[in-house]
Structure 1
């Protein structure tokens, strides 16, 4: 949507339009650059500024917020240098790292994109747009209009007792959860087997699964991958320490069927599209609607064609949102 919006804006200006596209992950920037190049029919449009890469020209840049702060653009650019600034995953804009960028630059158009505008901490992000949402479509309407794939959602009871797990600032203690789900072998193995049984019960064919499991911690992700491999289900764990090559390779193996599941923590939550994913396991307790919708979105790729039978599996304690 932002690529088409930019194209229309650019075509209305004989002098063209300088663009700054901001996101917080390299994968989002790469996919966005590719999308803009397709829409503009220009295979050379835009340059990346992320993970040490520096653009030769600054007129059309896809830049990480980390690089933006490192370069301190506000120290050597005019406030109106960019005609259009697009900030993806705009719900992050309440963070301190975005404030200098947003307070300094004065583009003709500031466009914020997010699937989850409501923040759990109640911080307001709409004031940047005079409390006006230019376009909005929610999950049920998007599915009804065949912009996203419909899904089957299963809630599976979990017998692991979390009543004694420490609750701080709206979250379970990660260390305590990891202890239950990994270190206490009897409990951990019983839960992992219950998850595997649920997948077997609610899916028609293991050969057709291209799945992602969202885990509590790195240790939990690796434990789940090891358990599934031991049961003959090809699986791999990815985390923040995994290299770009490992992530790309894992995605390709998932698409080809060489892997059935990838277990992740704090990866693939937002902004990254892997069209082959058709099964999701929510294996971490959360009371955050933002996290829940972001993870659900990994199994609802856009487009009405292939994928209408995509399904989402849920494993977790009875009434908890997992």
Structure 2
């Protein structure tokens, strides 16, 4: 099986982390980007080294998917460690294991601590729980790979308490731009759903209270779906089974071909198969289909299970982001959830981690309610708005920076010039990220023109170095070019090409380091 370029890079980065001694590392890939294929090839590498590998998951569907993809991608068979099935008498080098089974002390005691050399955790955002930790602590000498979809900042901090490093991350935006995922369009429905009295538990809204708050609105939501979803293949996520069943009944009354599945559905496989074969055009579920289920031609997702957890929201929308023939985009229906104290995940959270950009994107969608907006275009517009607001707020500070006579560029000036909101808002999560920059990082950054006094942490230094590497490959202006030209009044030099910046510096130098006649720095666009 031929891997995509980002999958090859992910595979190499994970192996490199283990080689460096970071025994517990993370791989972040959006839903639909082939994370199971990637970790299957990583497992193949370890098996070829003579290792025994455990794939650990919390649901049967994930174990079956891992086993099937591993066989398909590498030809490697697996043994099962679940309930009555045991791997201990098997000759297979790879075991797929249920955490519910392995966490039991009697079961763990059957395995020597060095039985597994490598452990892969599918849906790694679950691994902080006591059950997972019991298993991982028992096999504490093993290399560990955690695989997850886009985690939010809270998830990253909790994952950072266990994992040593982030080996590789591929964003939804990159995947969409590269043509590996469908475009996402967000449609805000001007329907206010009041959650102000819903309480929280374990960091998210209580499903029971959300269900009760949602029920009075189901009829209106179904009516809105008549206008926007009638000719689409739609998955709806709801907080409770009873809410899901009620919504299904309402939709069928309105002429949809709707079905409902839940954890107790005896005919679940048949219903899912019928939906995939278009017997139904709407599938309602109570959070059952967030993991381990794929139906690429789904082109509409309705999230009626409000959440504060970005990884969960990403999983739900991810049911519609896979590519399929004749599918142009996935439509995400968004509602005006009203809460007094809590920020909810909205479509903006899928493509941006910057809180200001998220808020601006959400404002734009609400100002254009009932109009489907492409999230890529929306983010670009919001970034421009936020950058403009920030530049106005930081104008005096940046003006002082640009006047400084030192040769190196302040990180903030560099970040602002290249519109790198992720650098500006970077928060270290892993232990190594919080340490001071290494001597090698400082030397490399200063060689590339960055003043290291304000970099602060090794994690920030690593991010800046990676951004500089990518900019060099893209042929964009260097920090030293940015500083030289912005000192002379040019703006947004970070968006210029290396060649255009070099040409302008040559013109200035040949003119006695004065601005050439006819050039107005404040309005010059670098072309």
Using structure 2 for the length normalisation, give the TM-score. 0.53
Q: C-alpha displacement at 1:51, in angstroms?
A: 5.5
Q: Does 1:138 align with 2:157?
A: no
Q: How many pairs are equivalent? A: 301
Structure 1 gaps, min length 5: 183-187
3-state SS of paired residue (2:301)? strand
3-state SS of paired residue (1:287)? coil
Query: What's the counterpart of residue 168 of structure 1?
Result: 200
In structure 2, C-alpha distance between the alignment counterparts of 1:60 and 1:83, rounded to whole Å: 10
Structure of higher CA gyration radius = 2
Query: What's the counterpart of residue 149 of structure 2?
Result: 115
In structure 2, C-alpha distance between the alignment counterparts of 1:19 and 1:277, rounded to whole Å: 34
Q: C-alpha displacement at 1:269, in angstroms?
A: 1.3
Q: Which moved more, 1:61-70 or 1:118-127?
A: 118-127
- Equivalences for residues 7-156 of structure 1 within 5 A: 7-11=44-48, 13=49, 16-42=50-76, 45-50=77-82, 52-55=84-87, 57=90, 59-70=93-104, 72-106=106-140, 108-118=142-152, 120=154, 124-130=158-164, 132-156=165-189
In structure 1, C-alpha distance between the alignment counterparts of 2:111 and 2:99, rounded to whole Å: 16
Query: What's the counterpart of residue 282 of structure 1?
Result: 303
Query: What's the counterpart of residue 185 of structure 1?
Result: none
Deviation sequence 1:175-214 (CA, Å, 0-9, x none): 44333433xxxxx3xx3343234333334x62xx322100
Q: Any conservation in 1 of the 2:79–2:96 contact (CA below 8 Å)?
A: yes
Q: C-alpha displacement at 1:156, in angstroms?
A: 1.1
* Change beyond 3 A, Cα 1:116–1:177: same
Name which of 311, 315, 319 aligns with 1:298.
319
Deviation sequence 1:115-172 (CA, Å, 0-9, x none): 1344647752234442x11111121112222222222221212234333x23334544
In structure 1, C-alpha distance between the alignment counterparts of 2:179 and 2:209, rounded to whole Å: 41
Q: C-alpha displacement at 1:73, in angstroms?
A: 4.5
3-state SS of paired residue (1:268)? helix
In structure 2, C-alpha distance between the alignment counterparts of 1:51 and 1:73, rounded to whole Å: 10
In structure 2, C-alpha distance between the alignment counterparts of 1:4 and 1:317, rounded to whole Å: 43
Root-mean-square deviation (CA), in Å? 2.6
3-state SS of paired residue (1:236)? strand
In structure 2, C-alpha distance between the alignment counterparts of 1:148 and 1:279, rounded to whole Å: 14
Name which of 213, 224, 235 aligns with 1:212.
235
Q: C-alpha displacement at 1:276, in angstroms?
A: 3.1
Q: Any conservation in 2 of the 1:91–1:116 contact (CA below 8 Å)?
A: no
Structure 2 gaps, min length 5: 1-37, 339-343, 347-527
* Change beyond 3 A, Cα 1:107–1:223: same
Q: Which moved more, 1:88-97 or 1:230-239?
A: 230-239
Query: What's the counterpart of residue 314 of structure 1?
Result: 333
Using structure 1 for the length normalisation, give the TM-score. 0.83
Query: What's the counterpart of residue 255 of structure 2?
Result: 232
Q: C-alpha displacement at 1:2, in angstroms?
A: 0.4
3-state SS of paired residue (2:264)? coil
Q: C-alpha displacement at 1:234, in angstroms?
A: 1.5
* Change beyond 3 A, Cα 1:180–1:134: closer
In structure 2, C-alpha distance between the alignment counterparts of 1:229 and 1:258, rounded to whole Å: 13
Q: C-alpha displacement at 1:86, in angstroms?
A: 0.5
The structure with higher relative contact order (CA 8 Å, sep 6+) is 1
More helix by share: 2
3-state SS of paired residue (1:158)? strand
Deviation sequence 1:42-69 (CA, Å, 0-9, x none): 5xx0033345544452742111110112
In structure 2, C-alpha distance between the alignment counterparts of 1:141 and 1:223, rounded to whole Å: 38
Q: Does 1:247 align with 2:281?
A: no
In structure 1, C-alpha distance between the alignment counterparts of 2:40 and 2:285, rounded to whole Å: 30
Query: What's the counterpart of residue 199 of structure 1?
Result: 225
